[in-house]
Amino acid sequence: MKNTNYLVLVRHGQSEWNAKNLFTGWKDPGLTDQGIEEAVNAGISISARNIEFARMFTSALKRAQITGQIILDGIDQPHLKTIKDQALNERDYGDLAGLNKDAARKEWGEEQVHIWRRSYDIPPPGGESLKNTAERVLPYFNAEILPRLTQGENILVAAHGNSLRSLVMQLDNLSKEEVIELEIPTGAPIIYTFSGNESPISKENLFG
């Protein structure tokens, strides 16, 4: 059997706007105390696997960057080479960004907001659908990260709920209907095992 290596995906810990029930997208709040604790716990759970990472990829948003650095500190790899790119940013919520989700439902109606949040290809005004998000996340992943995995590197990705849903959609071969039902908790690592091919050979969720 070929040597195995790992891709670890982590959604950032709870952000200040998560706690306030606000649409966040490309806005840039920091982490709450709970979010910091979630990132610390993610580092503890990853540390138990004794994975020596080659590099970390994260978004251009500080909640993911801070989460990633807390994890690197926790696994005693604080100076790991880190690549930051907005291709891994959260879905852009456009005109909804900064609005309270309950207030948005009152303004546009429960059904319309649900469509914007949970459809695959219908974006909110001025924003991105999950399909739009995947159209920037996946080419970046396939060009910059996947080749490193097939070459045997261990990679850590600290990103966001919707950018990670796009990755999981490809890695798990999910349909549009399946991916819109997928929930990725904050601070809960997902570990994929690779063995020289572009498709993972196993997956483990470290939820909680």
Domains and CATH numbers, the chain: 1-7+30-39+48-90+147-157+172-195+203-208 (3.40.50.1240)
Neighbouring CB atoms inside 10 A of 32's CB total: 19
Query: In angstroms, rounded to a whole number, what is the distance separating the alpha carbons of residues 97 and 190?
Result: 27
Catalytic choice (38, 90, 128, 160): 90
Catalytic choice (12, 38, 128, 160): 12
Provide the Cα torsion 16, 20, 21, 25; round to 10°.
Answer: -30
The low-confidence residues of the chain, meaning pLDDT below 50, are 1
* 204 annotated active-site: no
Position 1 scores a pLDDT of: 46
Position 118 scores a pLDDT of: 87
Distance of CA 98 to the CA centre of its chain: 20
Query: In angstroms, rounded to a whole number, what is the distance separating the alpha carbons of residues 12 and 163?
Result: 11
* 160 annotated active-site: no
Position 2 scores a pLDDT of: 63
pTM: 0.95
Position 135 scores a pLDDT of: 98
In contact, 31 and 39? CB cutoff 8 Å: yes
